[in-house]
Structure 1
Amino acid sequence: MNTPVYQAKAELFKTLGHPARIRVLELLAERDRAVSELVGQVGVEPAHLSQQLAVLRRANLVAARKEGATVIYSLASSRLAELLTVSRDILTEIIIGQSALLHDLRATA
């Protein structure tokens, strides 16, 4: 039996539901990176980063290639970078709306 699209979308968003994974994807949206670079910029222990990269690989969101002894990661789809940009835009709109509501609340207090 086929998985309904809404369920597949929920699984995608569940995979994205970890701050370290989002940070990895943001960094990879800029350019491909070695694991050693990611460790310093994601701010988690190497073992934890390895686990998060494995989750992203299993979901086919990132690709890994070896260059000598170095593993280089990249986004599996450039559309992920678009998704991150859209999510930032949505958050901005939400915050602006909350800011306007706060302004109105203060004005009527």
Structure 2
Amino acid sequence: MSTPLYRLKAEFFKTLGHPVRIRVLELLSEREHAVAEMLPEIGVEPSNLSQQLAVLRKMNLVTTRKEGSTVYYSLTSPQVAELLKVARAILTGVLTGQAELLADLQSGQSKPAP
């Protein structure tokens, strides 16, 4: 019996549920990066970054290529970058709505109930 799609989606989103992984994917949305390039950008220990990259590799979200002793990472699909853009747009909308509500609360005004 195959795994239902909703369970696979849940696992996919669990994989995205870590700030270091999201930051890695954001960096890789721009271009491929060597591990050494990512470390100062992400600000974690090398072992932590390596661990998070392994999770992303296991889920087939990133791929590697080796040049000498340097390992370069890139996204397996441009759709990953698109997903991050969509998430940003959703969050922008949510936060804009919250900012408007906060402004209303601070001004002491309330909007009529619908």
Q: What TM-score bracket applies, with the shorter chain setting the length?
A: over 0.9
Structure 1, unaligned runs of 5 or more: none
Counterpart in the other structure of 1:86: 86
Counterpart in the other structure of 2:57: 57
Task: Report the AA paired with residue 64 of structure 1.
Answer: T
CA deviation after TM superposition for structure 1 residue 108, in Å: 2.6
The number of residue pairs the alignment matches comes to 109
Q: TM-score normalised to the size of structure 1? A: 0.96
Please say if 1:3 is aligned against 2:8: no
Q: Write the distance in 1 (CA, Å) between the matches of 2:79 and 2:69.
A: 29
Structure 2, unaligned runs of 5 or more: 110-114
Highest CA radius of gyration, 1 or 2? 2
Q: Write the distance in 2 (CA, Å) between the matches of 1:48 and 1:106.
A: 42
Q: TM-score normalised to the size of structure 2? A: 0.92
Q: CA RMSD in A?
A: 0.9
Q: Write the distance in 2 (CA, Å) between the matches of 1:7 and 1:70.
A: 36
Counterpart in the other structure of 2:22: 22
CA deviation after TM superposition for structure 1 residue 47, in Å: 0.4
